[in-house]
Amino acid sequence: MEWTPSPGEPDDTTGTDLSVGDPDLRKSRLLSRQCDTCIFAPGNRMRLAPGRLRDIVTEARARESFIICHSTLPHYQHPEAKPAICRGFADRYSTQGLRLLARLFGFVEVDPPGEATPSDTDSSTC
């Protein structure tokens, strides 16, 4: 899927690998849950311009593709992160691309980069 930057986002992705495929596991990376600033979270946490989310979703659906989570893009806050499919998109839409990836390869769920896993924040004691 080709990434289209929002106004103010860097648009130099030349030479950047935006593949969600994990070559070792031969599966596609899918976030295990929505990231803290998911574009599908209530409250417009990414401060998208009015209509921008609709445009992003419309483009992904027209291409029968998916959205890569912004927190896994190499130019964002976590350059070490590997691109992964946005959980918010995958939970809401079924596209030909997602169905093909599921059937041909399956998914490996990865946690959003830089966020504690639910077990890390569990305060229960034994």
Task: Kindly list the domain boundaries of the chain, sorted by start residue.
Answer: 21-111
2: left (phi over 0), alpha (psi -120 to 50) or beta: beta
Q: 46 or 66: whose pLDDT is higher?
A: 66
Q: 28 or 14: whose pLDDT is higher?
A: 28
The CB density around residue 3, as the number of other CB atoms within 10 Å, is: 15
pTM, whole model, 2 decimals?
A: 0.78
The pLDDT of residue 125 is above 70: no
What are the residues whose beta carbons fall under 8 Å from the beta carbon of 93, sequence distance 6 or more?
A: 57, 60, 61, 66
Q: Give the residue-averaged pLDDT of 13-30.
A: 81
Q: What is the mean pLDDT of the chain?
A: 83
Q: Give which of 15, 125, 31 is closest to 86, Cα–Cα.
A: 31
pLDDT digits (tens, 9 = 90+) for 77-119: 888 899 999 999 999 999 999 999 999 999 999 999 987 665 5
